[in-house]
Amino acid sequence: MLTFGNFGHIDNAKHMQTQTTELVAAALESLPVAVLLLEPSGEIRARNAAARQLLGSGDNAQRVLRCRLADDRLPDWAVELHSVSLHPAGVDYEAVRFENPDGGVRLMDLHLRLLGDGSEIVLLMANDVTGRVSMERRLATSERLAAMGKLAAQVAHELNTPLDGILRYLGLAQRMCQEGNQQKATQYLDQAKQGLGRMARIVAELLTFSRSGPRGAEYAPLGSLVDEALRAMSPAMAAANVTVVCDLDEHAARPVAAALFQVMCNLMKNAADAMPSGGRLTITGRCGEGEAMLSFADTGPGVPAALVERIFEPFYSTKPAGRGTGLGLSICRSIVERAGGRIEVANRPEGGAVFTVTAPTWDAEARKGNETTEATEEDRERREEKKR
């Protein structure tokens, strides 16, 4: 039963509620993030100071945003507002381009959420990330320049070593010619020729490194690629007295990026080089849901623990001087990563090293494409329905 003594408590509760509402409104008004409340039709119910500064006047979000947006990702705001109701977690867009009245461009992160369960009101938040994106781009540019500088220094060092030998042998050959010692002159010229061959290999592998990767959507069954690599490398493996054991599961017919053939050949060649007295190379292939795994386990000395982290760096080689350019594993990593996969190395407990390549199968890539196509078709149908 309500008594007269309860009225004071009711008045206090109403006062506290009013005060809390006013504080929340003041907090929203002072936020540096633009906040808008939108009707399903796009009409603006409320906005804070940052939103007024960003979008100016206007009562319809679709018209206002169409005038200020300079981003092709958001062609129809009616569709975007409708899509929020289909995504309980909301819809987000990163670094959307906004045009300022003065002609400048700002980058904004947009977040769209339903205001609450059962509500049709959409909350739109726009956060200016121009400074952050600019800093990230400058940092990425600096990192690329630093990497290019490091690579240029490594290239200069790798080319300078054989070049120095070539000049020395040419000078000796010239002296032998002057002394009439044709046999010695020929020997020195042969040494210079070997140095030129090494420089040519370095340049060729650099070109491969710069353009390695799958072209378009070229795929082939994993098992077929392994068989082809085995045939290609069979003479080299036989010459090195290396026995190859291949173990592929029943799903090896699933297609992967065809460019992985080059990776397989390179890893087999490296395994043979690691076992100069012969040994055993075990190739294991497994295909799971949307992913293929291929490992190359040898019985060589393994990779020194201190070198595991650096073995995929350009020009870093564990082979004796003159036997490798140090680009083979870098090329492998580049190809695998461009195919959407990864390559790892580890030492086996029983001895030897194992290189593991993991890459998506074509069925996984196809599913992604189909999902994107279906989403695009749904958007198109919604736009057509809106026009009607």
Share of the chain above pLDDT 90, in %: 12
Cα-based distances in Å from 9 to 5, 23, 278: 8, 21, 91
DSSP sequence for 312-350: TSTT---SPTTS--S-HHHHHHHHHHHTT-EEEEEE-TT
Highest mean pLDDT of the ranges 10-19, 80-89, 195-204, 232-241: 232-241
Assess contact for 382 and 285: CB atoms under 8 A.
Answer: no
pLDDT tier for residue 78 given thresholds of 50, 70 and 90: low
- pLDDT at residue 1 is higher than 70: no
Going by the DSSP 8-state scheme, the letter that residue 33 receives in this structure is S
Interval 210-223 mean pLDDT: 63
**pLDDT confidence bin for 28, thresholds 50/70/90:** confident
| pLDDT at 152 > cutoff 90 | no
Q: What is the pLDDT of residues 298-336, one digit of tens each?
A: 998 888 776 777 777 766 565 555 455 566 787 788 888
Q: Helix 260-274 to helix 328-338 angle, to the nearest 10 degrees?
A: 150
Band of pLDDT at residue 376, cut at 50, 70 and 90: very low
Using DSSP's 3-state secondary structure scheme, residue 100 falls into: coil
Token readout for 89 is 């977690």
* C-alpha to C-alpha distance for 278 and 281, rounded to whole angstroms: 10
> Does pLDDT of 361 surpass 60?
yes
Range among 22-36, 134-148, 201-215, 324-338 rated most confident:
22-36
The CA-based angle 181-183-186, given to 5 degrees, is 110
Centroid of chain to Cα 248: 28
Bridge-based pairing of strands 44-47 and 242-248 is unpaired
Which CATH homologous superfamily contains domain 31-128?
PAS domain (3.30.450.20)
* pLDDT given for residue 2 in this prediction: 43
pLDDT recorded at residue 283: 94
pLDDT at 268 over 70: yes
Give the pLDDT confidence score for residue 372 in this predicted structure.
Answer: 43
**Considering the domain 219-367, what is its CATH architecture?**
2-Layer Sandwich (3.30)
Highest mean pLDDT among 1-10, 115-124, 171-180, 297-306: 171-180
What pLDDT is attached to residue 311? 75
pLDDT of 213 over the 50 cut? no
Residue 147 clears pLDDT 60, i.e. is over it: yes
pLDDT surpasses 80 at 54: no
pLDDT reading at 380 higher than 60: no
Q: Which residues contact 193 (CB under 8 A, 6 or more apart)?
A: none
Q: Which stretch of 71-85, 159-173, 213-227, 282-296 has the lowest confidence by average pLDDT?
A: 71-85
Name the most confidently modeled range: 70-84, 208-222, 240-254.
240-254
Q: Which amino acid appears at position 32 of this protein?
A: P
Task: Please state, rounded to an integer, the average pLDDT across all residues of the chain.
Answer: 76
The long-range contacts involving 43-46, CB below 8 angstroms and separated by at least 24 positions, are 45/121
- Which residue type does 118 have? G
DSSP sequence for 173-241? HHHHHHHT-HHHHHHHHHHHHHHHHHHHHHHHHHHHHHH-S--TT-EEEHHHHHHHHHHHHHHHHHHTT
- Count CB neighbours of 245 within 10 A: 10
Its CATH class, for the domain covering 135-211, is mainly alpha
Question: What confidence category does residue 354 fall into, taking pLDDT thresholds of 50, 70 and 90?
Answer: very high
Q: What is the pLDDT of residue 320?
A: 52
β-partners of residue 286 are 293
Q: What is the pLDDT of residue 332?
A: 84
Q: Is the pLDDT of residue 244 over 60?
A: yes
Among the listed residues 235, 359, 350, 338, the one whose alpha carbon sits nearest the alpha carbon of residue 285: 359
pLDDT at residue number 250: 83
Per-residue confidence at 4, pLDDT binned at 50, 70, 90? very low
**DSSP class of residue 94?**
E
